[in-house]
Amino acid sequence: MSLLLLVLFFFLFASLWGFYISVRPLRIVSSITPKDLGLDYEEVSFVSEDKVTLRGWFIRHKQSLEARTIIALHGYPADKGNILPAIAFLTEKYNLLLFDFRYLGASDGHYSTVGAEETRDLRSAIEFLKSRGIKEVGVWGFSMGAAVALMVAPQQIEVKAIVADSSYARLDLMAPVLFRLPFLKYPLASLMGLWAKLFLGVDLEKVSPMESAKSLNIPVLIIHSKGDLLIPFRHASLLQESLRNNGKAEFWFHENFFHGQLAPDYQRRVADFFAATL
């Protein structure tokens, strides 16, 4: 009986701890700003649908007032500064809006939902740009940011093209990655799903870029690597299947890059994609 209680305690404690550190992770806060890259920018803030204040940077194209605008979405548990060096090249042709998702970086919020409620943040960013007269956008997203872009785009006609770099396909499939314990990771992940539903009202199975992607008919570039150990390549395969009826979808897969590693011709490929689709 005591052994059974110990096993039960282990599962409850491990799954609750995993849930807690997932929704309140140690945040990666960058010190870099656009000024460090020689870019003029405006610090902006806007409020999400559920009253969370989000903070970001608006980098206006230096020469053209008519330049298209791209929203850049960071990964988890990083911030906008984390992705700035990777996408700063887009300022050569576009306005850029970067902001911190809820709880992360400089934004307010009591916890992260790793994509579930962050969809509200992107919708609010689009509304913010509309208030400035910008009615069409492209979206570049990395990891969690890519997942958010894929989930929001079907309901937002303002989104005209997406680059989704290293997205997950469904959030519940990511839960076992947190627990790298053979055999035990699946029951622990199931319990995490229970806590998410109980405490946050979030059904991890319904946080599903792969389901949303089925109704996308805009240009999408999916980027992923078979060497990604954080978000396994299986997720890219599921997204590819979801987009099979989208003739505007493109797929750029690599063999041995780690999560977040950029190919030597990354800038050219992404720039060409947006040039052709925006």
Q: Hey, which residues does 164 pair with through a beta bridge? A: 141, 222
Average pLDDT over residues 199-208: 95
Instruction: For residue 9, count CB atoms less than 10 angstroms from its CB and return exposed for 0-12, middle for 13-18, buried for 19 or more.
Output: exposed
At residue 208, φ and ψ (nearest 5 deg) are -135, 90
Per-residue CA distances from 123 to 13, 130, 132, 157, 207 (Å)? 35, 11, 15, 11, 16
Closest CA to 260 of 103, 28, 10: 28
Q: What is the CATH number of the domain that holds 153?
A: 3.40.50.1820
pLDDT at residue 181 tops 60:
no
Whole-number Å distance between alpha carbons of 86 and 118: 21
182 pLDDT band, cuts 50/70/90, is low
pLDDT of residue 183: 62
Number of folded domains that form the chain: 1
189 pLDDT band, cuts 50/70/90, is confident
Predicted TM-score (pTM) of the model is 0.95
Whole-number Å distance between alpha carbons of 66 and 79: 28
Contact yes or no for 202/258 (Cβ under 8 A): no
Q: What letter does residue 77 receive in the DSSP assignment?
A: S
Tell me, what amino acid is at 230? L
Domain that holds residue 204: 2-277
The pLDDT tens digits of the residues spanning 83-142 come to 999 999 999 999 999 999 999 999 999 999 999 999 999 999 999 999 999 999 999 999
At residue 39, φ and ψ (nearest 5 deg) are -110, 135
